[in-house]
Structure 1
Amino acid sequence: MAYINLPNTQLPGIVGLFDFRKDTGKILADLAELLLRGPSTLTSGEREIIASSVSYWNDCHFCHTSHAAAAKAHLGAGMELFDQIKAGFPDVEISSKLKALLLIAQQVQKGTKHVLQSDVDFAKDCGADDLEIHDTVLIAAAFCMYNRYVDCLNTWAPEHNEEYVSMGERMAHVGYGKTIRATES
């Protein structure tokens, strides 16, 4: 049970929090929309993998699983993607650029002084440009905040990966900005 009284107890994770405080919810949903679906040379699937990975490293089940489901929807992947993200893609071919950006995201997740020039240089050597590095850091930092928001208020989350598939489809194909507006109806 959530630590605060959320009026709509049917809404899981951050969606219930967006509904509780619609003004901040709209801003946070719009930020997610821009970071994960806005213009970028990184695909939405790649950005969702970054968000899901950071959420996994932060032990935020709701955010990890919902964003893995969105990555699945964007990439047309199977259910095994959930576990591949957790494992760091040992058996799946992902680009060296995405691997390097995930290393940067992991450094961001560890703390504010962990990204080093050598991490950035490595990402550039793997083909990442300044905007992609910037956006990776911002996605990772934002998801550290989102994860804490969800878990520090003890929101509920569906347990099984399969329960997130339709949510991931909606996030991938309808978007985040509409999530808060859908709760207003």
Structure 2
Amino acid sequence: MRLPEIERGDTLAHRLLIRMISRMSGYRLPDAARVAFYDTAYAGPALGAWTQATMRGPSSWSVSERELMAAQIASWNSCPFCVGAHGAIAVKGMDRALVDAVLADYRAAPISDRLRAALAFLDRMTNHSVTADDARAALDAGLSVQDLEDAAAVGAVFAIITRNANALDYEIPSAADFDRAADMLLKRGYG
């Protein structure tokens, strides 16, 4: 359900900010950013800070690997906006063919065993019920406890974000607009 307040902004200041950013960037400000301007109690500072820490904070996972995890979770949650947005960010640090291969079938994609183990854990976390045995399997496959915690944080935050995007019926930008927004997110982050 697209809320008019999110589309145009809920206050005069937000309306002007949305218009200014859209004009300066040369493309329609994506709905994810519009939601951040809408009623800060809804998806405000806490979610932004958590997403920023998860996706850009210290981690042995690269930014591209975390963005690929987010895109994969979005794929499992049938969220085309987040698949496009986070896939576009992932390709800033890895090959598009690799991102596409992971999204098609991470089990067969030419990725490290470590990343495959993290994605297998996230698959269980997103699509099934995660158990201690799933965590042990990831650790046995070479993930450290911190690797697993960092991947689980991506899984948790994108369980919320993908459902939010679907519930609010985010508009799907063009590939070129996703690419431009990816550059902005790499510079600005999520906070």
Instruction: Determine which of 91, 95, 115 is the counterpart of 1:72.
Output: 91
TM-score (norm: length of structure 2): 0.79
1:1-185 equivalence runs, <5 A: 2-6=2-6, 7-8=8-9, 10-23=28-41, 24-73=43-92, 75=93, 77-89=94-106, 92-111=109-128, 114-158=129-173, 160-177=174-191
8 Å Cα contact 1:60-1:151 kept in structure 2: yes
In structure 2, the CA distance between the partners of 1:131 and 1:148, relative to structure 1 (3 Å rule), is same
1:92 Cα deviation after fit: 4.1
In structure 2, the CA distance between the partners of 1:163 and 1:11, relative to structure 1 (3 Å rule), is closer
TM-score (norm: length of structure 1): 0.82
8 Å Cα contact 2:89-2:182 kept in structure 1: yes
Once the two structures are superposed, what CA deviation does each residue of 1:125-148 show, in whole Å capped at 9, x if it has no partner? 221111211221221121010011
SS of 1:157's equivalent?
coil
Q: Percentage identity across aligned positions? A: 25
Aligned mates of 1:166, 1:33 — CA distance in 2 = 19
Once the two structures are superposed, what CA deviation does each residue of 1:50-91 show, in whole Å capped at 9, x if it has no partner? 111001111111111111111111x2x343345223212466
How many residue pairs are counted as aligned between the two chains? Answer: 172
Aligned mates of 2:112, 2:134 — CA distance in 1 = 16
SS of 1:100's equivalent?
helix
Structure with max Cα Rg = 2
Which letter does structure 2 place at the counterpart of 1:11?
L
**What is the RMSD of the two structures over their aligned residues, measured on CA atoms?**
2.2
